[in-house]
Amino acid sequence: MNTPFLSSSATPSVDVAVLGAGPVGAALALALVRHGLYTAVLDTRGPEEAQQDPRVLALSHGSRLLLERVEVWPLLREVAPIRVVHVSEQGTWPRVALTSAEAGVPVLGYTVEYGRLMAAFVERLRDAHALFYLPAVGEPWIRASREGVTVGLRHRDGAGALQARLLAVADGGATANRLGFEMASRDYHQCALTARVRADVAPSGVAYERFTPEGPVALLPCTNDYALIWTVGPERAAALAALAPEAFCAALQERFGHRLGCFRAVGHRAVFPLVQRRARDVVGARTVLLGNAAHTLHPVAGQGLNLGLRDAWELAEHLAQAPRDSIGDPAHLERYRRKRSLDVELGVAFTDTLVRLFSNANPLLRWGRTAALAGLGLLPPARRFLARRMIFGARAL
């Protein structure tokens, strides 16, 4: 990665400035450079800090294909495959298995630590040509006009600015608020409790999504243990986080059952409030939102990051097909918005519907859920359709 403008008195120009160097922003930058577009990546979090993040991410097989194209996938270490997803509801009999063989793919997806994914991105970004990496201190200032965007920032060696035809915001949402994008939000009044847990049965490529009246419990296979995402109410989440390890394992056992034998150990626990947040329009003056800056989803079914990576790939492909001087034009951005709208609409609706239907004890809905799971278990084409929709998004339709 290069920072040539930091010591230059002239204001440099790039085709696209990417704000946010997380997985979505970094994937976008690499996809743009792949097409020969001059790109700058700006982030207030240094690469070393990002690589210390222990969170576990779920990547679909479709996301792997995108990461292969930007040459990140071969650099990843300790990736655990998911070949089967078991779906069930507490207290009912149907069990549905979504398999990679039935979906027609080698695997359904993978788990990887956020820090390891970022280490692979940083290694790849360092080798990329036509790319600036600009570590900023504090929030950059942004001035958009019909002609382009000016971004100014402070850094460890002083201050600087650059001009861009287009600003792509992938920093999670803070900048979208400052730029005046209108957001719609839905508070689920739930929290996600995350941890690594150890069980008698070692991971073997099987993930579990178990629905309960409080919310879903997901267990994803990692190298030697499982990544837990346990959705409960805020007070319950705080109480579970404070339990001694033995008591926590017992509570998880009661909620999940004994399909993995007994839970024996739990690592560090973290709690995150769950809110659906979505921009009413993802394009503005010489600006486009993608990833969590555009849509933050409930973690059920693990769709959020994969949707964001598809945002990045589709935006890069769209920009590469345009004349250079039309990058950032309103009409050009509007065509991108329309192109992405179906995948985003379906992704948001899918996760929101799962939460609404399954996170309650309504007896009528419970009967309907039991019938739906039983029907899904009896219909291979329906299972294949669902699996491929989760892997590839709207392109699977």
- Whether residue 63 lies inside any domain: the answer is no
* Residue 163 belongs to some domain of the structure: yes
Provide the mean pLDDT of the chain: 90
The number of folded domains in the chain is 1
> Which whole number is the average pLDDT over 184-210?
96
Per-residue CA distances from 293 to 8, 174, 268, 281, 310 (Å): 31, 8, 27, 11, 14
102 lies in some domain: no
Does 287 map to a domain? yes
pLDDT at 18: 95
Domain of 126?
4-53+114-183+278-354
* 151 CB burial (10 A radius; 0-12, 13-18, 19+): buried
Does 331 map to a domain?
yes
Residue 384 has pLDDT above 90, yes or no: yes
Residues 53-71 pLDDT 10s: 888 999 999 999 999 999 9
Q: What is the pLDDT of residues 139-192, one digit of tens each?
A: 888 998 888 999 988 776 677 888 999 999 999 878 898 899 999 999 999 999
Write the CA distances from 251 to 86, 207, 271, 274, integer angstroms.
21, 20, 16, 21
Q: What is the pTM of this model?
A: 0.93
How many residues in the chain? 397
- What are phi and psi for residue 278, nearest 5 degrees? -145, 135
Cα torsion 289, 291, 292, 294 to 10°: value is 30
Single-letter amino acid code for the residue at 164: A
First and final C-alpha spacing in the chain? 38
Structural domain includes residue 134: yes
Q: Does pLDDT of 395 surpass 90?
A: no
CA distance 346 to 206: 25
CB neighbours of residue 275 within 10 Å: 14
Cβ neighbours for 351, distance < 8 A, ≥ 6 positions apart: 276, 297, 298, 300, 301, 303
Give the CATH number for residue 297: 3.50.50.60
| Pairwise CA distance, residues 210 & 158, whole Å | 52
- Reported confidence tier of residue 1, pLDDT bands at 50, 70, 90: very low
Q: Is the CB of residue 75 less than 8 Å from the CB of residue 322?
A: no
- The token pair that represents 29 in the structure block: 């930058």
